[in-house]
Amino acid sequence: NAGVMQNPRHLVRRRGQEARLRCSPMKGHSHVYWYRQLPEEGLKFMVYLQKENIIDESGMPKERFSAEFPKEGPSILRIQQVVRGDSAAYFCASSLRDTSNYGYTFGSGTRLTVV
Amino acid sequence: DAKTTQPTSMDCAEGRAANLPCNHSTISGNEYVYWYRQIHSQGPQYIIHGLKNNETNEMASLIITEDRKSSTLILPHATLRDTAVYYCIAEGGSNYKLTFGKGTLLTVNP
């Protein structure tokens, strides 16, 4: 039973390029969450999605960032026109329900470096 | 969300019990205490959670004081692989946003 799969593990982009981060939740999980961890800081909530719906994107920057979780396929976090400040580790988590009572399962993250 | 306070770092000898404290003096009645850990370069790993009763699983034990203002995570026999940052989080059971602080860096020494 594979856990939460994120790819790529490492991504290098030049300033102005687009970054696409993928997350496949655990089998049977329909709730996906994205968190960002800047260097030397704790994880910060970005967005919560269910299949085909964005439930809460209050932690997403207003510009350049978007997320989707289509009916088929992985969840995608997309960052357009990346800047150096976007360099961070991006973690995806999934759960069975929309509560945290059961603990989230996190992926290993995508480390984005903007050069 | 209740604010939690944890020591910045702790050391523990391999094979001994590691006791990680957490203060959450403003926790409300419906907020759970969760513990996660993050081993270097990996995603956070869920360890345990509780509301007011002590809890135990295969990884750890969670001791919550009667007034719920503090708790202790116990790793009964720490190994080198338990070296990680441990996060104590107080959140409502229906709140899906986990608020991660700086956590405690536990270093298990041989």
Per DSSP, the three-state class of B80 is: helix
Is the model more confident about B37 or about B28? Answer: B37
**A86 CB neighbour count, 10 Å cutoff:** 20
Percent of chain B with pLDDT strictly greater than 70: 96
Cα nearest neighbour of B31 on chain A:
A101
Give the integer Cα–Cα distance in Å for B86 and A39: 17
Phi, psi at A68, each rounded to 5° = -145, 160
Whether A104 and A96 have beta carbons less than 8 Å apart is answered as: no
Q: Identify the pLDDT of residue A48.
A: 94
By Cβ distance, the residue of B93, B95, B100 closest to A42 is B100
Give the integer Cα–Cα distance in Å for B97 and B106: 24
Per DSSP, the three-state class of B23 is: strand
Residue A106 to residue B45, Cβ atoms within 8 A: yes
Give the integer Cα–Cα distance in Å for B93 and B101: 18
CA angle A18-A21-A26, nearest 5°?
A: 165
Residue that has been written with the tokens 């990884």 in this structure: B59
Q: Identify the pLDDT of residue B95.
A: 72
pLDDT in tens, B34-86: 999 999 889 999 999 999 989 999 999 999 999 999 999 999 999 999 999 99
pLDDT along chain A (115 residues), means of 10: 88 98 92 92 92 93 95 95 96 78 84 97
pLDDT in tens, B73-106: 999 999 999 999 999 999 876 677 888 988 999 9
| Phi-psi sector, B74: left (phi>0), alpha (psi -120 to 50), beta | beta
Q: Identify the pLDDT of residue B88.
A: 96
pLDDT averaged over chain B?
92
Cα nearest neighbour of B89 on chain A:
A100
Contacts of A35 in chain B (CB under 8 A): 98, 100
From the DSSP assignment, how many helices (H) and strands (E) are in chain B? 0, 9
Q: Is A39 on the interface with B (CB under 8 A)?
A: no
Residue that has been written with the tokens 């009572």 in this structure: A101
